[in-house]
Each structure stands twice: as structure tokens, then as C-alpha cells.
């Protein structure tokens, strides 16, 4: 079975891609990229740094309510 490399555009690799890369194929382990940057195990993404909404505003309609002061 021939292994095709998806990194042929930016790294020297002995495998030339002749068709689109398929998800079932494994990436090439012979390129210079793999020597410098070994594979790491899959990790889950970290939690968001966005602050949690702790204070929830009242859900009352604003009809007939003015946000500006005025005198009669």
C-alpha cells in the first residue's frame, strides 16, 4: 500500500501526491516536518476565557420607557 503525503507543498517528501488526500490515509512520517515536530496525542480544546454571564437582566419590554431625563 502506498502512503501519500499531504505536506508535499512545503516540505521535502519522497511521496508525490497524485490524488486528493483522503481521511483514511495516514500522513507521511518521512518528511522533515515530522523530524522537527513529532505528533502529539489528541487533546480536548480548553475552556473559553469568555466571562460567564453571572448577572441576568430582567426580561421586561422597554415599551413606553424612556432612557433620557426630561422635564414637563
Q: In this predicted model, what pLDDT tens digit does every residue of 4-61 receive, in sequence order?
A: 555 545 555 555 555 555 555 565 556 666 677 777 777 777 888 887 777 766 677 7
- Amino acid 19: pLDDT: 56
CB within 8 A of 6, min separation 6: which ones?
17, 21, 27, 28
Using alpha carbons only, how large is the chain's radius of gyration in Å?
28
The predicted model scores a pTM of: 0.19
Alpha helices in 1-72 (DSSP H): 32-36
Give the integer Cα–Cα distance in Å for 12 and 31: 6
Amino acid at each position: 500500500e502506498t502512503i501519500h503525503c499531504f505536506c508535499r507543498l512545503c516540505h521535502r517528501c519522497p511521496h508525490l501526491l497524485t490524488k486528493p488526500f483522503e481521511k483514511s490515509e495516514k500522513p507521511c512520517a518521512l518528511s522533515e516536518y515530522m523530524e522537527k515536530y513529532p505528533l502529539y496525542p489528541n487533546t480536548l480544546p480548553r475552556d473559553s476565557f469568555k466571562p460567564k454571564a453571572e448577572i441576568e437582566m430582567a426580561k421586561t419590554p422597554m415599551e413606553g420607557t424612556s432612557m433620557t431625563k426630561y422635564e414637563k
